[in-house]
DNA sequence: GAGAGTTTAGACTCGGAGTCCAAGGTCGTG
DNA sequence: CACGACCTTGGACTCCGAGTCTAAACTCTC
């Protein structure tokens, strides 16, 4: 993937809507071209292919998540309080970027098998939360767990599944409504 | 999809390996034919297409999950004890059918958008667990939650994500190793 | 104004999904 | 047994869409 000229990033981000709706394979390059206003040949000039475009979107949303989580982790309070902030931050990113979030969920398996995406997921969520869990064990606000990475993964799964589920056309409800039960569940799960 | 002749089901189940590896779109009908020993024309005689084969696999694994979960729910003990059994049963199904489980995760988005699959997921896991949570609120072994369906979804997400993560070639470790931390997390999350 | 990089239309190749058909097989029923 | 209904399969075919390629135009920078 080539370095993008100014403005291209925003245009390509608009393709998230398509991928969220139909997934990578249900989306045609022509559709991407039409939706973004960037001609097919130009897309191929900058990206290695359709999958590369999707990967770009995933990295963007994961970096966004990473920034939000890092902000929550860096806040004030006990580890437990900051863990709550992390969950809310994650829900906030899902709410702010619903299309990209749903696209990520749609092609989750593909994403999980890409080393690049796996690395970004880890850096954005798993690793910060793991570290927060260990901090909580030290400051006494959280229970000590045997495998903090594993529990961090469980938390990621719980939040992502619940948040995205709330976004489906069927169950569409404001994420604020789900936040209470979800944060309580997660916090209780690791409370001291 | 036509009613399958005896033996066909088992043969087609062998295709799960392919879908787990490459997903729906990375898998060619010819590969499915080769792996199952069922000629392409015959596959098209019984199934409406590639996606229909995948849907068949998903329904099979979800029904398996449904039976395992139902067994755990129907067991003895408090709701809390049975919830622990549900989590272990879920991990057991993932361990017993790793290929189909990974295939389901690979094309999770597609699955989530199919009403048939969504119905099976709900019947196999979400609804039984929701009901168990309410029972636990009555028998005093679990905390009362505002939206039990939502918490059930969160539990599903936590278990599936953790279990499948443990199956990846990278992190491959016996699921028994993850079970302790995971059940503790889930149980504490909803304990009274 | 020359060269390097960018932008684009449009024609092209190629692979794979799904269709179709025809020949043959296997039943169950009279 | 014979007939009709359904099952089974090979192989050829259509069609669509990803990705490639080319050539022409445009836009910088030096």
Q: How far apart are CA B135 and CA B78, in angstroms?
A: 9
* B→A interface, C-beta within 8 Å: 23-25, 102, 105-110, 112-113, 118, 143, 145-147, 150-151, 153-162, 165-166, 168, 170, 177-178, 180-182, 184-186, 188-191
pLDDT tens, position by position, B79-120: 999 999 999 999 999 999 999 999 999 998 889 899 999 999
* Sequential pLDDT tens for chain A (192 residues): 999 999 999 999 999 999 999 999 999 999 999 999 999 999 999 999 999 999 999 999 999 999 999 999 999 999 999 999 999 999 999 999 999 999 999 998 899 899 999 999 999 999 999 999 999 999 999 999 999 999 999 999 999 999 999 887 666 667 788 899 999 999 999 998
Q: How far apart are CA B53 and CA B42, in angstroms?
A: 12
A5 vs chain B: nearest CA distance in angstroms? 31
Predicted structure pTM score: 0.95
Tokens of B7: 């033996």
Q: How far apart are CA A10 and CA A56, in angstroms?
A: 12
Position B169 scores a pLDDT of: 65
Position A12 scores a pLDDT of: 97
- Using CA atoms, how far residue A151 sits from A105, B47, B150, B178, B184, in Å, is 20, 40, 19, 9, 10
Task: Over range B159-174, report the average pLDDT.
Answer: 82
From start to end of chain A, where are the E strands?
A: none
Strand D nucleotides within a 7 Å radius of protein CB atoms: 7-11, 17-22
Position A117 scores a pLDDT of: 96
Position A171 scores a pLDDT of: 64
Position B172 scores a pLDDT of: 64
A115 vs chain B: nearest CA distance in angstroms? 10
Position B175 scores a pLDDT of: 79
Specify the residue for token string 């636990």.
B136
> A191 forms bridges with which residues in the sheet?
A142
Q: Work out the percent of chain B whose per-residue pLDDT is above 70.
A: 97
A46 touches strand D (CB under 7 A): no
Position B121 scores a pLDDT of: 97
Position A169 scores a pLDDT of: 65
Position A45 scores a pLDDT of: 97
Position A175 scores a pLDDT of: 79
Specify the residue for token string 């199934």.
B47
Q: How far apart are CA B58 and CA B103, in angstroms?
A: 8
Task: Please list every residue in chain A whose beta carbon sits closer than 8 Å to the beta carbon of residue B18.
Answer: none
pLDDT of B59 > 90? The answer is yes
pLDDT confidence tier of residue B192, bands split at 50, 70 and 90: confident
Decide: B38 and B17 in contact? Cβ < 8 Å: no
Question: How is residue B125 annotated by DSSP?
Answer: I
């Amino acid at each position: 993937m080539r370095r993008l000229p100014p403005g291209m990033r925003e245009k390509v981000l608009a393709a998230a809507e398509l991928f969220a709706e139909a997934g990578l394979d249900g989306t045609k390059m022509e559709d991407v071209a039409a939706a973004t206003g960037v001609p097919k040949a130009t897309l191929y000039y900058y990206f290695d292919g359709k999958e590369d475009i999707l990967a770009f979107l995933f990295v963007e949303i994961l970096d966004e998540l990473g920034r939000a989580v890092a902000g929550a982790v860096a806040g004030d309070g006990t580890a437990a309080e900051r863990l709550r902030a992390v969950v809310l931050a994650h829900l906030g990113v899902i709410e702010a970027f619903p299309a990209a979030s749903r696209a990520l969920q749609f092609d989750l398996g593909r994403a999980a098998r890409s080393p690049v995406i796996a690395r970004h997921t880890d850096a954005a969520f798993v690793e910060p939360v793991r570290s927060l869990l260990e901090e909580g064990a030290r400051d006494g606000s959280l229970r000590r767990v045997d495998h903090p990475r594993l529990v961090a993964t469980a938390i990621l799964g719980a939040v992502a599944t619940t948040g995205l589920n709330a976004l489906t056309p069927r169950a569409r409800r404001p994420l604020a409504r789900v936040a209470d039960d979800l944060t309580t569940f997660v916090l209780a799960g690791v409370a001291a």
